[in-house]
Amino acid sequence: MGGQSVTTDASIDPLTYSEIRDYLRLDEGVDETLLITLLKMATQYVEKFTGRALINRTITLFIDGVDEIDLALWEGTRVAPDMSIRKRYIELPTTPVSSVSSISSFSDNDTETTFASTKYFVDTAREPARVYLRDGQAWPQSLRVANGLKIVYVAGYGSNRTDVPEAIRLGILNIIAFNYEHRGDFEGVLRQPAMVQSLLQPYRKLSFTNNPFGTGSGTY
């Protein structure tokens, strides 16, 4: 089935200690270690809740392959010359996507071959982003039994903190503030005030399927 992992993580957090300190109206140096810990936990929560990367990071996605013959004829499929049904696109699970660095395939003897960028188009305007085959092209064949395709892509709003939407940054600040206020009850489990979901809901990625390369999937 494959899976994905972060190969180069974000180099910064979406907020600084100074921004958190000013929001909480604290003096310089007060509870810096605790607040940075809360920042990292809040960021992880927000990214998981929304399905989004906030600051740019490089992600490597492995999938087994993209050819199936038992799929319904609807968006994302085409009839190949041999009358099998082939998927036209691969959906990238993490949003927003800024670019695809490379696509490569692995043969049964684990030989890696680059899939030329001229053979596909990356649609980053939609969410989740999709990698589409160009006309007349086909996905690599004769792949190894698992993890036959590798896609390396960059996801995130940008490389700067200010690239992250202000509503998301405010949501993180509110999570930190709530848990800091209740730090006597804090036992490593983050709690979210009710208003946070209203801030984050417009950014939440919803999909008809969790299959990153299935047909009929999309956001709404």
**pTM, rounded to two decimals:** 0.81
Q: What is the pLDDT of residues 41-54, one digit of tens each?
A: 999 999 999 999 99
User: What domains are there in the chain, each with its CATH number?
Assistant: 3-54+159-203 (1.10.3230.30), 58-155 (no CATH)
The list of the chain residues with pLDDT below 50 reads 68-74, 80-85, 208-220
Q: What is the pLDDT of residues 59-99, one digit of tens each?
A: 999 998 775 433 444 455 555 444 444 578 999 999 999 99
Q: Cα torsion for 201, 204, 209, 214, to the nearest 10°? A: 150
DSSP string, 70-114: S--SSTTEEE-TTS-EEESEEE-SSB-EEEEEEEEEE-TT--EEE
Q: What are phi and psi of 123, to 5 degrees?
A: -95, 100
Which residues on neighbouring strands pair with residue 123, listed in sequence order? 130
